[in-house]
Every structure is written in C-alpha cells, then in structure tokens.
C-alpha cells in the first residue's frame, strides 16, 4: 500500500524568505503526486500535481515542486513567502485506486 | 462555477447518537469521495463513488458508517451509533471522472463533528 511521510510537523519562516517543505512517498510503481493547502476553516485547495514528464512542476501562488524518483521525494518550494501563505500543507499520492493518500501535514508559520 | 457544497458545517452530538452529512458535488462530476480528517492528521479516504456505484470502501467502518449516492449526484454519509473517536472533520470531494490521471479532486469546506 502507498504511504506519504511529511517529516516536519511545524515550520517557521520569515516573510520574504524561501521555503521548502519535504515529502517522501512509498509506492511501487510510478506515483501520481499532489500538494494541497488548507487554510483555517477552508477546504483543501490543489497547489500542483505531478503525473509524468518534467520533474519540476509549477503550481499556483508561486509554488513549485520537484519529483526525485531516486529519493522518493516530492518537495514543495517557494522562493519568497508571504504572510498569506501561513496554512497547513499536505502532500498526497494516488496509488492503485483513485483515492488520495495524504501525509499528516506540515503547519507553516510566517514570522513578520 | 459552484464548488462542492456540504452541510451542516458543524455538528455536536452525544455518543451513541446518529448523525448524517450531506454533500452536493460540482455539477457534472462523476466521482465523489468522503474523507475523514482527525485533528492533527491528514484526510483519510472513507469511500469513493463513481456515479452511484461504490469504487472503494475498504477504509469505511461498515459496522457504524454508511454512505449512499442516489442518482449519481448528491451523497449522504451516516454514522450510527457515533463514538468519541469519530470526532473529526468530514470532507467531501468530487472530480470530473475517475482514473489515476483524473484525480484532481475539489474539496468542500467540510463538516466538523464533535462527539461528546
């Protein structure tokens, strides 16, 4: 069965600094990978997805992620964070069935 | 385009009572999912429908949870009887069609259930 590990429960970043959120997955075949963001009281919003092709994926809100098969990773990055980026971030993988398997999430705190 | 609608937003019940949640997916979306998100964890898939048929319910506690999607549109998720550990946010999501490449799911705001 597939699984997702997000090693960092909390991350604190200063506004304007760069950001990297880590995600490691476990799946035997080619994974389909996603990053979602969840703001307080809001539903999950898709930031970006990787199915195949270019391993560097661009998403909304200035986010990007890089798929590295050799490291089983799909880390999310942003060159300069804004206070509005404070939220919970979830990495997810689709395995044999269609439903998403999510990691436990990383809580992003932005310092002024 | 209207999003995924869920109701109620909040529900507080006593243990052993029953509760039902309603979901209206995005128009035209054939695939509907129910997820359970316990505080501090990522969402966990409970059940997936393709039109009005069940595709995957392997993680649904069938002794107390049930779900249906009549006419392939709206869906209801029921818990009977509720336990304290059912306290969570229940998220409904829909996607245009199933298949691994078509799983761009759109999520509703969820129903926060508290069992006391």
- B63-106 confidence digits (pLDDT tens): 999 999 988 899 999 999 999 999 999 999 999 876 666 668 89
Interface with chain A: mutation pick from B51, B67, B105, highest number of A CBs within 10 Å: B105
Between CA A85 and CA B27 the distance in angstroms is 30
State whether A32 and B103 contact (CB < 8 Å): yes
Between CA B96 and CA B6 the distance in angstroms is 18
State whether A43 and B3 contact (CB < 8 Å): yes
State whether A44 and B93 contact (CB < 8 Å): yes
- A36-82 confidence digits (pLDDT tens): 999 987 889 999 999 888 899 999 999 999 999 999 999 999 999 99
A112 to chain B, minimum CA–CA distance in Å? 25
> What is the percent of chain B where pLDDT is above 70?
94
Residue A69: the pLDDT is: 92
Between CA B64 and CA B23 the distance in angstroms is 19
Residue A62: the pLDDT is: 97
Q: Is the pLDDT of residue A97 over 70?
A: no
List the 29-68 stretch of B: residues with Cβ below 8 A of A.
Answer: 31, 33, 35, 40-45, 48, 55-56
Between CA A86 and CA A8 the distance in angstroms is 15
Confidence of residue A17 (pLDDT cuts 50, 70, 90): very high
């Amino acid at each position: 069965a597939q699984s997702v590990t997000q090693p960092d429960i909390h991350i604190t970043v200063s506004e304007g600094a760069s950001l990297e959120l880590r995600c490691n997955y476990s799946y035997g075949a080619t994974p389909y990978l996603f990053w979602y963001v969840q703001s307080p009281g809001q539903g999950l919003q898709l930031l970006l997805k990787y199915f195949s092709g270019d391993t560097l994926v661009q998403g909304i809100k200035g986010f990007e992620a890089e798929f590295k098969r050799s490291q089983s990773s799909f880390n999310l990055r942003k060159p300069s964070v804004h206070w509005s980026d404070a939220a919970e971030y979830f990495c997810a993988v689709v395995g044999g069935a269609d439903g998403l398997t999510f990691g436990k999430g990383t809580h992003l705190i932005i310092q002024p | 385009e209207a999003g995924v609608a869920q109701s109620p937003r909040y529900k507080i019940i006593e243990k052993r009572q029953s509760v039902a949640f309603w979901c209206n997916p995005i128009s035209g979306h054939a695939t509907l999912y129910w997820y359970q998100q316990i505080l501090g964890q990522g969402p966990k898939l409970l059940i997936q429908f393709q039109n009005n048929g069940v595709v995957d319910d392997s993680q649904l506690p069938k002794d107390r949870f049930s779900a249906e999607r009549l006419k392939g549109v709206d869906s209801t998720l029921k818990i009977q009887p509720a336990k304290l550990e059912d306290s969570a946010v229940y998220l409904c999501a829909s996607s245009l069609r199933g298949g691994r490449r078509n799983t761009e799911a759109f999520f509703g705001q969820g129903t926060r259930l508290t069992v006391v």
